[in-house]
Copies of this chain bind each other. A is one copy, B any other.
């Protein structure tokens, strides 16, 4: 008899549905400096929509706003269908702890049809993931160990010497242990970059994502056949300014298909 143990990602995004609310709890596998890794919360928000009995279509876009630092422990999620159209479906989602709103989000699902299609940007040319060494995480928050990250440029500046620092990173990324990709893990990977300010500056200042948006450019069936292969992430900041900076990224399948684009606004202390 085989005892199948759930993947830590699946455990972390497990929800139960009762009286029109979803219930879950944070996982130590995805702990960040303070509270949980934002990517796992974003995936959990999306999970509530995907599990909702009225959900139609596949994820198209998600915006999550971190109104407060989610606390370790239990939480409830209120997932409201704002509107259902023929092609798109709109959701408003709130994550609640101790009767206060910690996170708000909007999610759009959509029905895709075969149409004229073009990709207007090329995947960066990089070594294959087999040729790149895994990033060694020492004294890092737990979530870093939940990924196999292989940076080809733009590691945190405190770890390496760079003559001309920039805010751009290109990395292969994969769940650790390996797990077949789906919309949930793709969402979490949109946040699985080190904060741009640590790549650009040596000083480790306090930071926190305030809002993150993900656009899904792949169909469910594409992700379902992609399996446990790594994803190429390419990210940069455009402006650090008076307490807030952006982080913009593309996530690619290794076959050159653009799976997702994402952007986030991040608070930094000084």
Partner-B contacts on A (CB < 8 A): 60-61, 63, 65, 67-68, 82-83, 85, 87-88, 90, 92, 94, 100-101, 104-106, 108, 110-121, 166-168, 200-201, 210-211, 213, 215, 217-219, 236-244, 246, 248, 250, 258, 261, 263, 265, 267-270
Q: Which residues does chain B contribute within 8 Å of A111, judged by CB atoms?
A: 243
User: Contacts A63-B63, A106-B106, A120-B239; is A210 near B100 (CB within 8 Å)?
Assistant: no
Question: Does the CB pair A243–B112 fall under 8 Å?
Answer: yes
* Contact A120/B85 with A106-B65, A110-B244 known, Cβ cut-off 8 Å: no
C-alpha spacing A112/B112, complex, angstroms:
40
**Contact B210 A60, beta carbon cutoff 8 Å:** yes
Which partner residue on chain B sits nearest A211 by CB separation?
A: B61
Interface of A is mostly: strand
What is the chain B residue whose CB lies nearest that of A219? Answer: B242
Q: In angstroms, how far is the closest chain B Cβ from the Cβ of A251?
A: 11
Knowing A90-B104, A121-B238, A238-B119, the reply to whether A263 touches B265 (Cβ < 8 A) is: no
Q: Which of B104, B217, B246, B268 contacts A246 (CB 8 A)?
A: B217
A116–B240 touching, CB < 8 Å: yes
- Among A60, A168, A201: residue with most chain B CB under 10 A: A60
A207 smallest CB distance to B (angstroms): 11
Interface centre among A211, A217, A237, A239 (most CB of B within 10 A): A239
A115 and B268 form a contact (CB under 8 A): yes
- A60, A213, A237, A258 pick with most chain B CB within 10 angstroms: A213
Q: Can you give 26 contacting A-B residue pairs, CB < 8 Å?
A: A60-B265, A65-B82, A67-B90, A68-B85, A82-B104, A83-B101, A106-B211, A108-B210, A108-B265, A110-B210, A110-B243, A111-B243, A112-B241, A112-B242, A112-B243, A113-B243, A115-B240, A117-B242, A120-B236, A121-B239, A215-B246, A215-B265, A217-B241, A217-B244, A238-B250, A239-B258
A111: nearest residue on chain B (CB-CB)?
Answer: B243
Instruction: Please indicate the chain B residues that have their CB under 8 angstroms from the CB of A241 in the complex.
Output: 112, 115, 117, 119, 217-218, 258
B contact residues around A239 at 8 Å (CB)? 117-121, 217, 258, 261
A102: min CB distance to chain B, Å: 8
Q: Are A88 and B210 in contact (CB under 8 A)?
A: yes
CB distance from A112 to the nearest CB of B (A): 4
